[in-house]
Structure 1
Amino acid sequence: MAGDDQLAQRFEQHRPRLRAVAYRMLGSVSDAEDAVQNAWLPLSRAEPGDIGNLGGWLTTVVAREALHLLRSRRRRREELGDTPLPDPVVSADGDDPEQKALLADSVSLALLVVLESLSPAERLAFVLHDMFEVPFDEVAPLVDRTPAAARQLASRARRRVRGAAPPAPDEDDARQRAVVDAFFAAAAGGDFAELVRLLDPDVVFRADYGGRRRPAVYRGAEHIARQSGASRGAEIHPVLVNGLPGVVTARSGRPVSIMAFTVVGGRIVEIDGIRDAERVQRLTAGVVRFRW
Structure 2
Amino acid sequence: MAVQRINEVAGAVRSVTGRRETDFARERPRLLAVAFGILGSDADAQDVVQEAWTRYADTDVEAIRNVQAWLTTVVTRLCLDLLRRSRELPHRPEELPAGVAEDPQDVAVLAGELTTAFTVVLNALTPPQRVAFILHDVFGAPFEEIAHILDTTPGSAKKLASRARGRLRPDGGHDPDGDPREARRVVGAFLKAARQGDIDGLVRVLHPAVTRSADPQALPPGARGLIRGVNAVVTETRVLQANARRARLVTIDGRPGIAVMSDRRVRIALTFHVAEARIVHYDVVADPRRLALLRIEE
TM class by smaller structure: 0.5 to 0.7
Corresponding residue of 1:161: 164
Match of residue 233, structure 2, among 198, 203, 224: 224
The residue number in structure 1 matching 2:193 is: 186
Q: Secondary structure at the match of 2:116?
A: coil
Distance apart, 1:286 and its partner CA:
10
Q: Does 1:44 align with 2:57?
A: yes
Pair 1:132-2:146 in alignment:
yes
Q: State the Cα distance separating 1:178 from its structure 2 match.
A: 3.1
Correspondence 1:237 to 2:247: yes
How many Å separate the matches in 2 of 1:51 and 1:208?
A: 37
Q: Which residue of 1 aligns with 2:116?
A: 84
Distance 2:223 2:127 in 1: 26
Q: Per-residue deviation at 1:229?
A: 1.2
Change (3 A) 1:181 1:34: farther
Report the residue type matching 1:186 in the other structure: A
CA distance in 2, matches of 1:8, 1:25: 24
Structure 2 unaligned blocks of 5 or more: 1-11, 88-113, 136-142
User: Is the 1:114–1:164 contact (alpha carbons within 8 Å) kept by the matching residues of 2?
Assistant: no
Q: Tell me the secondary structure at the aligned position of residue 169 of structure 1.
A: coil
C-alpha separation in 1, matches of 2:205 and 2:198: 11
Alignment of 1:1-292 (within 5 A): 1=12, 22=35, 24-27=37-40, 35-36=48-49, 39-47=52-60, 58-67=71-80, 84-86=116-118, 114-118=121-125, 123=130, 132-134=146-148, 161=164, 164-166=167-169, 167-207=174-214, 209=216, 212-220=222-230, 224-234=233-243, 235-238=245-248, 239-241=250-252, 243-249=254-260, 257-273=268-284, 280=287, 283-284=290-291
Shift of 1:262: 1.4
Which structure has the bigger radius of gyration?
Answer: 2
The secondary structure found in structure 2 opposite 1:134 is helix
Higher relative contact order (CA 8 A, sep 6+): 1
Contact 2:183/2:256 (<8 A) preserved: yes
Deviation at 1:132, TM superposition (A): 1.0
2:194 & 2:68 partners in 1: Cα distance? Answer: 49
String of CA shifts for 1:116-166, please: whole Å, max 9, x gaps.
Answer: 334668856998999711376x69xxxxxxxxxxxxxx9xx8897365233
Give the Å deviation of 1:85. Answer: 2.8
Q: Determine helix, strand or coil for the equivalent of 1:205.
A: strand
1:83-108 deviations in whole A, cap 9, x for unaligned?
A: 7133xxxxxxxxxxxxxxxxxxxxxx
Residues 22, 63 of structure 1: 8 Å contact kept: yes
**What one-letter code is carried by the residue in structure 2 that aligns with 1:229?**
R
In the alignment, the residues of structure 2 paired with residue 208 and residue 18 of structure 1 have an alpha-carbon distance, to the nearest angstrom, of 20
**Separation (CA, whole Å) in 1 of partners of 2:177 and 2:128:** 32
8 Å CA contact 1:23–1:29 kept in 2: the answer is yes
Residues 42-64 of structure 1 deviation map (CA, whole Å, 9 limit, x = unaligned): 22322469879978864553235
Structure 1 unaligned regions, length at least 5: 75-81, 87-111, 140-153
C-alpha change, 1:254 and 1:186, in structure 2 (3 Å) is: same
Distance 1:257 1:118 in 2: 26
Task: Choose 209-218 or 251-260, whichever is displaced more.
Answer: 251-260
- Cα distance 1:184–1:213, how it changes in 2: closer, same or farther (>3 A)? closer
Q: Report the TM-score when normalising by structure 1.
A: 0.52
Distance in 2, Cα, partners of 1:159 & 1:185: 31
Bigger CA drift: 53-62 or 184-193? 53-62
CA–CA separation in structure 2 for the residues paired with 1:286 and 1:59: 16
Query: Equivalent residue of 1:168, what SS?
Result: coil
Q: Which amino acid aligns with 2:247?
A: H
